[in-house]
Structure 1
Amino acid sequence: MAAHVETGALVITMAGRWSVAQAYTLQRALSRCAAHHPPYVAVDCTRIAPDRLLPTLLPALVMIRESCRRGITVLVCAPASALTVLLRRLPTRRVRLYPRLTEALSRVRPYPDSARVRRAHRRLAPKPQAVSAARGLVRECCERWRLSDIADDAQLVASELVANAVEHAGTDIDLTLCHHRQRLRISVADRHPGVPALSRRQSAPAPDPDQPLAIRGRGLAMVTRSAASWGVLPGSDGKIVWASLHTPQPSRLRLPSVATIPRVGYPA
């Protein structure tokens, strides 16, 4: 699995000799992609022989349909004659067929909005002001999505990731926030191939309560301390560094039982 920074797509490349049994590997890859809630998942099948393409993708069509239900558009790159009839029968318009991966990625709109997923995106210039803009977007989204309990941690994580991209990448930065199923995922994409190195077991220094959130320098160690998980998705045009935070489960309205409801008497 790789990232395409310019569009926000995650790319799955299939190659070699494939069988029906190995197609379940593709299903698991699609499931991992869906966990990131990208706007697109591109499945590149152009390296597979046409006579083995159809049985390979059949078990994955169920997962493709599930991805579409989550608001993800699936771009299948394959010979048109092999899959056109089958894909047209899917009850969704979120599966698109292209002959080549380059054409698929050039035909889609970068970082589109989705009504099914809480997602926000902003492209930032590699300047120090980008850190403040990132915190502002996170604060705005946390207020709109009622995530005030994790707003401070989310702002800290976003500012660290963006500041790291400004300092080490020096390219345009794409900040994406996505909230789905008690997870807030913060993704920062840049056009530099260098991958940040930090062991997930590395301890982070305790935050100084006298320093404001704008003061950084704690790096990815603080991201490790504040986020539930984080990782890097490398790609041909850069990388995406992401971090995931647990969000509180929304409280449900509990109605009192009938026995506890006081009876109101009416005059005769």
Structure 2
Amino acid sequence: MAAHVETGALVITMAGRWSVAQAYTLQRAIARCAAHHPPYVAVDCTRIAPDKLLPTLLPALVMLRESCRRGITVLVCAPASALTVLLRRLPTRRVQLYPRLTEALTRVRPYSVPAHLRRVHRRLAPVPQAVSTARGLVRECCERWRLAEIADDAQLVASELVANAVEHAGTEIDLTLCHHGQRLRIAVADRHPGVPALPRRDPAGISDDPHQPLAVRGRGLAMVTRSANSWGVLHGSDGKIVWASLAAQPASRLRLAGLVGLPRAGYPA
């Protein structure tokens, strides 16, 4: 599984013959994708021989139906035109067919967010002010989504991840917040291939290696490790996504009008 930073899509590449082992691997990959609640999941089948495509893709589409129910659009990349009839018969319009992965990722709208989801995206310039903008967006979302109990930790996590991207990536930054069930997920994407290292802890929980980047050897990822329940990195051809997940109490139902005022894209003023 890989990440496409520009669109927010997660990409599953399929190759070889279909087998029970491959089915299990695909099921795990789809489950991981769904856990991140991306706007798109792209399934690249272009490496599979055309005569093996149908028996390979059918079980995959069955597994992908659950992702569609969660509001995720599935992009199937395959050269066989015969699949068009099959996809039209699926009980969902969230499966789209493209001949190549590159075409699929250029056709979809970056970070398309359904209005009914508790998901907010903001694109930031790689400047120091991006950190305070990220904190403000997280604070506003936590207030609107009634997540006051984790607001401080969420602001700390977001500011550290954004600060790390500003200092070490120096590219455009995509900050995405998603509240689903009992989790608040914070994802920070940049266009730099370098991957942050896990902090080596001393007794105080902070790494003191002078050769580590400042945000890692100081308070950065060590503080993220302590404040978040889990975190990780998704690699991609156009950069990476560093994400963190925080446990939250189930939120009460909110009026959709409460989400209209949240910013979704563009540089901070």
Mean Cα deviation higher: 68-77 or 196-205 = 196-205
Q: 1:223 is matched with which residue?
A: 224
For structure 2, the residue ranges without an aligned partner over 5 or more in a row are 207-216, 254-269
Q: 2:46 is matched with which residue?
A: 46
Deviation readout 1:34-71 (Å, 9 max, x if unpaired):
00000000000000001111111222222211111111
- Taking the aligned partners of 2:25 and 2:231, their CA distance within structure 1 comes to 23
- Whether the aligned pair in 2 keeps the contact of 1:22 and 1:56 (CA below 8 Å) is no
How far did 1:221 drift? Answer: 0.3
- Taking the aligned partners of 2:95 and 2:143, their CA distance within structure 1 comes to 33
- Taking the aligned partners of 2:77 and 2:205, their CA distance within structure 1 comes to 43
Q: In the TM superposition, what are the counterparts of 1:15-164 in structure 2 within 5 Å?
A: 15-19=15-19, 22-164=22-164
Mean Cα deviation higher: 73-82 or 184-193 = 73-82
Q: 1:233 is matched with which residue?
A: 234
What is the one-letter code of the residue matched to 1:246? A
What is the one-letter code of the residue matched to 1:13? T
What is the one-letter code of the residue matched to 1:6? E
- Whether the aligned pair in 2 keeps the contact of 1:14 and 1:43 (CA below 8 Å) is yes
Aligned residues: 242
- Whether the aligned pair in 2 keeps the contact of 1:19 and 1:52 (CA below 8 Å) is no
How far did 1:79 drift? Answer: 1.9
How far did 1:90 drift? Answer: 1.2
- Whether the aligned pair in 2 keeps the contact of 1:39 and 1:111 (CA below 8 Å) is yes
Q: 1:248 is matched with which residue?
A: 249
CA RMSD of aligned residues (A): 1.9
Query: Which structure's CA Rg is the greater one?
Result: 1
Q: 1:192 is matched with which residue?
A: 192
Q: 2:170 is matched with which residue?
A: 170
What is the one-letter code of the residue matched to 1:4? H
Q: Could you list the runs of 4 or more consecutive aligned residues of structure 1 that deviate by over 4 angstroms after TM superposition?
A: 199-203
- Taking the aligned partners of 2:53 and 2:190, their CA distance within structure 1 comes to 34
Other structure's SS at 1:22 match: helix
Other structure's SS at 1:131 match: helix
Q: 2:5 is matched with which residue?
A: 5
- Taking the aligned partners of 2:171 and 2:155, their CA distance within structure 1 comes to 21
- Taking the aligned partners of 1:177 and 1:200, their CA distance within structure 2 comes to 27
How far did 1:22 drift? Answer: 2.1
- Taking the aligned partners of 1:81 and 1:50, their CA distance within structure 2 comes to 10
Other structure's SS at 2:103 match: helix
- Whether the aligned pair in 1 keeps the contact of 2:147 and 2:251 (CA below 8 Å) is no
Mean Cα deviation higher: 156-165 or 22-31 = 22-31
TM-score of the two chains, using structure 2 as the length reference: 0.85
For structure 1, the residue ranges without an aligned partner over 5 or more in a row are 206-215, 253-268
What is the one-letter code of the residue matched to 1:177? L
Deviation readout 1:154-213 (Å, 9 max, x if unpaired):
0000000000000000000000000111010000000000000015877635xxxxxxxx
Mean Cα deviation higher: 21-30 or 170-179 = 21-30
- Taking the aligned partners of 1:204 and 1:233, their CA distance within structure 2 comes to 24
What is the one-letter code of the residue matched to 1:36? H
- Taking the aligned partners of 2:21 and 2:167, their CA distance within structure 1 comes to 45
How far did 1:250 drift? Answer: 4.3
Other structure's SS at 1:43 match: strand
